[in-house]
Amino acid sequence: MVYIPCPNKKDYEEYIFPNGLLYLYSSLLNNKYNTDLIMLGKHDFTEFLSEIQKDDIIGISVNSSNKNISFEFAQYIKKSIFNVKIIMGGPFISLLDDEKLKEINFVDNFFKFESEYSILNFLKSQNNNKIIYGERIKELDSIPFPSKNGAIYSNIITSRGCPGNCIYCSSPELWKRKLFFRSPENIIEEIEQLYFEGVDYFSFSDDTFTFDKNRIIKLSNIIREKNLKIIFDIRSRIDAVDNNILEELALTGCVSISFGVESASPKIQNILSKKVDIKKAVDIIKKCRSLYIKTNVFLIIGNPEEKDIDIDMNIDFIKESLSDWITVSGLHYYPQTALYKLYPKNIDWINQKNTVYFDDLYNIKKNELKIHKAHKKALKNLYEKTIDLTDNIPYRSVFWKYAELGMFEKNKKLKLKWLRKAFEIYESPEILFSLGIEENNEEMINKAYYKFCFQINNDIRKSPDFLKNALVFFEYVEDKEYCVFVKSLLEKVI
């Protein structure tokens, strides 16, 4: 099973195995198929070619970001070894028109939709159909999770589907707006397996993690009952959270939430079929801040009928809500979306790289910079309530606040106290390193070394800020090999 990150996309999530591929890999191993999971760069193609053996089947995971490099790889392999079998799957393949897929002669079989079971049937029967369709899996607990087969990772998916009907998103076509869930007991089994292997930072990759609030409350209660000292981040919708669920998440260790607001303009929201109550969005983001949960807001610009006043509404929103981060993107086309049907455009889905809706890329970039500049200025003027060392804050979400106070405190006694409070919640490699330096504790520095290596090597954390901190650490311990490695990762994501 091969995954090739898009070499031009500066996004650290691009360099983490997709959830679907991990669960497919686990399903194959669970059924005694000898399977390798490999992440390749373009410079690895030749070496990979030399490793191919007779009767190998090469499966390639394709999404909208890596489609061009994935098709290039498949062509390269097929030209070099004509009789090797190449199969492809992933969300992008599921969305492409069948007739278009049938024209591609360098791929033997395409798998559409959920493939944990359809690929097993294919391997048993050697189905000769060019396109193989998977059926919707309703009992998600029946899928063996990857940690059962020795994989180590931090991205967990606990449900499949999204209730939204946004015109730019492929989810309505892929999932038909229906959601299916894993049980809290099944999720906790996966978390525990990974936790006892050393994973204590998790990312829940569901489109709407909190859609079933009772399920999340039950999961949170189990995590706390078992005293699992984890922290995690999630994605959700403004209309799928309330004050009660946010407090549950804060108590359990949720340190950040990403919300898809997309636009603060009612006109643009109506065009995108994105129904977000902007007043509620402001209130929810402020509530998160009061609970020490960091927030990221997704915004889309370059929309149909968008004017300067719509951009200004986005700026007013971010000034009022004051999320910790914003992610601003241009509106893009994807196959089979309502956007593509409502605003048709001639796109070669196989070869074309630019699928942005609005042709004026300069204007998109200008507005993106304008919004980021306003956000940065607003955060500079943010007044936050001070925390006292004697405050008894029950929320594990306060970890990053303690960590930041410890990192920037100049008074050594106070610095140690803040770092210790952070350490009591979560033993991050950054905190271990800082405490090791302050207390001249060789054991803690050694522990930080192990944890930095573990988290990098297993894709637990790969954000630019984390990698920068890791580079400082490896320079301190004079590990030249890891310095080179981390620098190469930073070049990919910045």
Amino acid identity of residue 412, one-letter, is K
Q: Distance between CA atoms of 115 and 24, rounded to whole angstroms?
A: 7
Residue whose entry in the numeric block shows the structure tokens 């007044």: 383
pLDDT at 82: 81
With bands split at pLDDT 50, 70 and 90, how would you rate the model's confidence at 339? very high
Question: Where does residue 260 rank: exposed (0-12), middle (13-18), buried (19+ CB within 10 A)?
Answer: buried
Q: Distance between CA atoms of 463 and 253, rounded to whole angstroms?
A: 19
Q: What is the rounded average pLDDT of the residues 240-252?
A: 98
Element (H, E) at 259: strand 254-262
Pairing of strands 201-204, 155-156: parallel
487 pLDDT more than 80 = yes
Q: Is 407 helix (H, G, I), strand (E, B) or coil?
A: helix
Q: Compute the radius of gyration of the chain from its Cα atoms.
A: 23
Q: What is the rounded average pLDDT of the residues 114-118?
A: 96
386 pLDDT more than 80 = no
Closest to 251 measured CA to CA, from 229, 270, 280: 229
Q: What is the rounded average pLDDT of the residues 288-310?
A: 97
Q: Distance between CA atoms of 319 and 251, rounded to whole angstroms?
A: 28
With bands split at pLDDT 50, 70 and 90, how would you rate the model's confidence at 390? confident
Report which of residues 459 and 232 the model is more confident about. Answer: 232
Report which of residues 390 and 175 the model is more confident about. Answer: 175
pLDDT at 348: 92
Query: What mean pLDDT, rounded, does the chain reach?
Result: 95
Q: What is the rounded average pLDDT of the residues 229-233?
A: 98
Residue whose entry in the numeric block shows the structure tokens 């979560």: 426
With bands split at pLDDT 50, 70 and 90, how would you rate the model's confidence at 336? very high
Contact 18, 90 (CB under 8 A): yes
148 pLDDT more than 80 = yes
pLDDT at 128: 80
**Interval 348-374: pLDDT, tens:** 998 888 899 998 889 999 999 999 999
**Interval 183-195: pLDDT, tens:** 999 999 999 999 9
pLDDT at 465: 94
pLDDT at 351: 87
271 pLDDT more than 80 = yes
User: Which ranges of 61-153 would DSSP assign to H, the alpha helix?
Assistant: 67-80, 91-95, 98-102, 118-125
Give the range with max mean pLDDT: 11-15, 251-255, 342-346: 251-255
How many Cα atoms occupy the beta-carbon half-sphere of 207 within 13 Å?
18
pLDDT at 382: 85
Q: What is the rounded average pLDDT of the residues 95-115?
A: 95
Question: Where does residue 129 rank: exposed (0-12), middle (13-18), buried (19+ CB within 10 A)?
Answer: exposed
Give the domains, in start order, of the chain with CATH numbers.
2-133 (3.40.50.280), 154-380 (3.20.20.70), 396-493 (1.25.40)
pLDDT at 494: 82
